[in-house]
Structure 1
């Protein structure tokens, strides 16, 4: 593991995201939000992209 990997892990903080279907607030990693990876709401099971918020 290099120092850059350590820095990346340190900078990858949790971000609060609201589900557009049920408005449940959940935490996702900031890297997932930046990459626009599909999120799944743990409450209602709705699939959504972070940019749909």
Structure 2
């Protein structure tokens, strides 16, 4: 395993995100949050950006 693979493994952590519409808490990849990708709530289907929290 190279040092880059080890660093990638540590950076692939999950973060708890709360849906702004229904307050459902789910775990999302921290990479999605850094890239500001639109998230979808698995409970109500609401689309939201991580910055809207």
Q: TM-score range by the shorter chain?
A: 0.7 to 0.9
Q: Please tell me the root mean square deviation across aligned C-alpha atoms, in Å.
A: 1.4
Tell me the TM-score normalized by structure 2: 0.87
Q: Which structure 1 segments of 5+ residues have no match?
A: none
Aligned residue pairs total 53
Alpha-carbon separation, structure 1, partners of 2:26 and 2:14: 9
Tell me the TM-score normalized by structure 1: 0.87
